[in-house]
Chain A
Amino acid sequence: GAVVSQHPSRVICKSGTSVKIECRSLDFQATTMFWYRQFPKKSLMLMATSNEGSKATYEQGVEKDKFLINHASLTLSTLTVTSAHPEDSSFYICSAREGGKSSYNSPLHFGNGTRLTVT
């Protein structure tokens, strides 16, 4: 089955620093990747849609300059949390759509998530 690898699984950083989270599709080409944020015991909130080779599309209320997304290849998308603050602490999870699988019943494949703690 399609596997999405997300790294790191946990990260602790200090306020003001930047953190990069990687999302890789291991055995398929991901035309589109999605980044979600999940607060404790809450639902997944879509942050942005990342298409290979183009700028990400951000959801309303998500700061583009704060959460930098790069989708430079068909197997890798990165989310960089810049100038992190304690309120950025959350669970970030990526998902990927397999290229060529244009059927709308194809499920998204999710990474295992990254738990970010900003101190």
Chain B
Amino acid sequence: AQKITQTQPGMFVQEKEAVTLDCTYDTSDQSYGLFWYKQPSSGEMIFLIYQGSYDEQNATEGRYSLNFQKARKSANLVISASQLGDSAMYFCAMREGRSSYKLIFGSGTRLLVRP
């Protein structure tokens, strides 16, 4: 069965610095997708970035980049130049296979950006 692990329940980062949020996964499928979502205190889930298992390059979206290490089954999110508005919960999620669209989420990391 697939599993997503986020080992950092909480993280602090100084404003304008970079921060890495860890995510490891376990799956027996060769085809899968990895997603990161941000959840502010208001509750909505905001899609940040996607990495496919066959993608050779690490995904980037603005200040977000994904450090994908397939052999180690890790997909860490890197946020550069942190802003106060980045303070939120961050969830790593995985979609397994080409025929399933449901997402399985990790336990999340609460990020607090200090001014």
Task: Please name all residues of chain A whose beta carbon is closer than 8 Å to the beta carbon of B91 when the two chains form the complex.
Answer: 43-44
Task: Please name all residues of chain A whose beta carbon is closer than 8 Å to the beta carbon of B45 when the two chains form the complex.
Answer: 44, 93, 95, 110
A54 at the interface (CB under 8 A from B): no
Q: Is B50's CB under 8 angstroms from A105's CB?
A: yes
The complex places the Cα of A44 from the Cα of B107 at a distance, in Å, of 8
Cβ proximity bits A75-119 to B, threshold 8 Å, 1 near / 0 not: 000000000000000010101010000001101111111010000
Shortest Cβ distance from A8 into chain B, in angstroms? 13
A67 at the interface (CB under 8 A from B): no
Given A34-B102, A43-B108, A46-B102, are A107 and B42 neighbors across the interface (CB < 8 Å)? Answer: no
Task: Please name all residues of chain A whose beta carbon is closer than 8 Å to the beta carbon of B47 when the two chains form the complex.
Answer: 107-109
Task: Please name all residues of chain B whose beta carbon is closer than 8 Å to the beta carbon of A44 when the two chains form the complex.
Answer: 45, 91, 105
User: Among B37, B42, B44, B45, which residue has the most Cβ atoms of chain A within 10 A?
Assistant: B45
Given A43-B106, A104-B52, A104-B95, are A112 and B44 neighbors across the interface (CB < 8 Å)? Answer: yes
Q: Is the interface of B mostly helix, strand, loop or mixed?
A: loop
A32 at the interface (CB under 8 A from B): yes
Q: Is A91's CB under 8 angstroms from B43's CB?
A: yes
Q: Is A46's CB under 8 angstroms from B104's CB?
A: yes
Cβ proximity bits A46-67 to B, threshold 8 Å, 1 near / 0 not: 1001000000000000000000
The complex places the Cα of A104 from the Cα of B55 at a distance, in Å, of 12
Given A43-B91, A113-B44, A115-B43, are A108 and B33 neighbors across the interface (CB < 8 Å)? Answer: no
Task: Please name all residues of chain B whose beta carbon is closer than 8 Å to the beta carbon of A49 when the two chains form the complex.
Answer: 102
Chain B positions near chain A (C-beta within 8 angstroms): 31, 33, 35, 37, 42-45, 47, 50, 52, 91, 95, 97-98, 101-108, 110
Can you list 8 contacts pairing A with B, beta carbon distance less than 8 Å?
A34-B101, A43-B105, A43-B106, A43-B107, A93-B45, A97-B101, A108-B103, A111-B44
